[in-house]
Amino acid sequence: MQTSLTVPLALVVIFVLKKIVDFRNAAQATKNLPGFRVVWDLFGVNEIMPRIRGIMFGGDSALQKHGDFARFGADIYSVVAAFPKVQTTLMIADADILKTITGSRLKFPKALETYGGLSFWGQNLVVSEGHEWKRFRKISAPAFSEPNNRLVWQETINVMQDLFDNVWGDKKEIVMDHALHLPFTIALFVIGAAGFGKRMSWNNVEAPPTGHKMHFQDAMEISSANVTTKALFPGWMVGLTKRGRNIQLAFEELEKYMLEMVTEGKMSRAAGNTRHDLFSKLLDASESDLTGEKKLTELEVISNIFIFLFAGHETTAHTLTFAFALLALYPDEQERLYEEIVKYLPGDKLPTYEEANSMTYLTAVINETLRMYPPVVAVPKRAAEDTTFVTTTHAGDRLSVPVPKGSILSLNFYALHYNPKYWENPHAFKPSRFLGDWPRDAFMPFSAGSRSCIGRRFAELESMVVLAMIVKNYKIAVKEEPQFAGETLEQRKERLFQVTFAITQAPVRVPLVFTKRV
């Protein structure tokens, strides 16, 4: 009996000793850069995991912002973990280092293992690197064109007018227990029209078309709202519940719709028809020989267009919700924005694409919202070779950090946006900081470099139209609730800006009232 236990016990001892040695070597490889030493760290799901001292690094970015960096006295610190493998992660909030990383795609490639769950139908722009990424980028880029920008602008106006005329109508007050529902639906309709060429209705009562069990609008809405579920859990587990089976059906129906759209798009192109929605433009670029790249397969087309759907829908909806809440909390800023809007849009005048860049305070409000609540709080890269980062500590001393090959580099945009080195009073909502000169290298809500968000202008234009039309016609205020009577501004701010993290950052609950201006 004693002999039978000796071998496995010896193996356990050897395993533990090797872990200890590897762990110590990993820490020493960065000259023991201050930071966290933990048993477990799984980058990619950190933000939804708790932080347990010495055990798990976890999330907490929403609470910490730049706090961890202030604690360690520099805009770079380390996280060394023992499991699931010994791994060093460098957390970074230094604008110069981030610019170096985002400017060198080959030296600092994306850590693709954290994005595997987003390849539902195969490879796409987000989950690829190397030549495959270049191929997808080259084919996708023409879709985000000036004609599509104009289409986004006009379709957003159409959606907002439909909302005002046929949903809100003559109501003097619209009360929302959670305002996310409003921009969530608006963004869905805009991406439906400008992304897929399919207009949708606020009052969807039509039966699904022949051959379908779910309407396109419902399939889009359910799929977009449940990307995290689809990405993190295996199909058999999702299918255990009625809600899960409905999610699976939505993804199946959306795939069927998109495959039909591929066939229709090819026929339309063959007939010489010109359309400017993203789906049609992506098909055009893939089918033509102008890019010099291999055509996208049907599954690659729908995989990429779904990534555009998810990125363009969820992130825009969350940003607009945060913007509504900030304007409600700071009525003076809302009034200043209103004054600019009515200056450019007097009477019944609608926003014009040509004036988009003229409304500088509107742009400043959107930028300040993105600074304070970036859609993606961090992006993982990997060091493809040994290198060294140089920064300055908060005490003013030069700090040289060795970066071993294979290290994970966490580009912490949240901390960057709250770094007092670049932003005066970073916790304050001050859109005016974006008027005149401002630290552009310290603002990365859409990442930066060659892998920055390809749909940035799409999201910006949509947000501009929605905010301009809402603020012109309605005052936004926080919904008064008896249980929160007497709370201070800081308490109210803390309540309204509770967030959850999955793939993107989302508000938990934002109760607002929209009152029609007279």
Residue ranges for the binding site for heme? 453
Q: Are strands 512-516 and 408-412 parallel, antiparallel or unpaired?
A: unpaired
Bridge partners, residue 80, by sequence? 37, 88
State the binding site. Answer: 453
Region of 416 on the Ramachandran plot (φ > 0 left; ψ -120 to 50 alpha; else beta): alpha
Residue among 480, 462, 466 nearest 173 (CA): 480
- 222 vs 196: CA distance, rounded Å: 16
Give the contacts of 389 (CB within 8 A, at least 6 positions apart). 76, 90, 92, 94, 97, 100, 400, 401, 403
Amino acid (1-letter code) at residue 202: W
Q: What angle do CA 133, 138, 143 make, to 5 degrees?
A: 120
Residue among 51, 114, 105 nearest 79 (CA): 51
Phi, psi for 399 (deg, rounded to 5): -130, 120
Amino acid (1-letter code) at residue 291: T
- 62 vs 64: CA distance, rounded Å: 6
